[in-house]
Structure 1
């Protein structure tokens, strides 16, 4: 399957996104509640992610993870473990966690589910227009679990891969990267996202 893997630039050491999320989106009017409606054509990967996140079709996890493993994760030869981006919405089953679990299995790299926490709820950051304010808000929302660091990160330094679903402004990933890099046990931080906004 053809994808358009692109490098995404940020505070992390290296990052890639599998493809754009949408090919085109045309405004078609408003629904009965006054919300805008669109006729959207998604990329192959964008459609897989849409079906996973919004239709709860967890059969899409494997093809997403397979593409991510083959086209991105193999670029990083020195990953020690993988982290799924903590979710912003509560769901019975988390799409990003499911993708990270599958990528972990395919790449034979351990997945840390408890190192990075999001103990604080945040307002919708898309409603915060100043980038520095978004970053500040998110920096307070994430934390590292010190017990996990002390118990499991026994070597001097580790390289970590963060997996996320959609890259938009990169603010959440930059906040998490900053927090991880403040930990003396973390050396390199890599990023892989399923799709990107542009």
Structure 2
């Protein structure tokens, strides 16, 4: 055992019998990728998308207001879950502040609707403001790596929460309420 501990590390073999797998641009062993069969033609995806959008557009004519509200909440939470999937699943970053942008868009939309702006304009303004804030906040934070990125996103989340809770303009600790959407020709459903 002492013979092994007293030996110095050897330099790597410049011409090994089998090359290392994918080391520094070298071609490694081929990897089998399961395919699962051929992909369907593009028109299938478009047809399914059009059918789903059509069903969602006709939902207010068939289902109750309660069902519309539940469906709306489910779709909003699915969108938020997908954003979390993109940032943590595809990029591998531990992001705890992605809900900030969701909240900025929601508060902007709700506040503008309470001020009398049409719903579609409020949603567009909310999307524009949360995109702008995501760019301005994300530009410096995305330069951080690892735990520093996670801590910075927690800081953004907590800072935004404190700003909203302590701002009377945004409803303070009580939050804000928006009018319930009715089946009015001027206001569709969201």
TM interval, short-chain normalised: under 0.3
TM norm structure 1: 0.23
TM norm structure 2: 0.24
Q: Larger % of helix: which?
A: 2
Q: Which has the larger radius of gyration?
A: 2
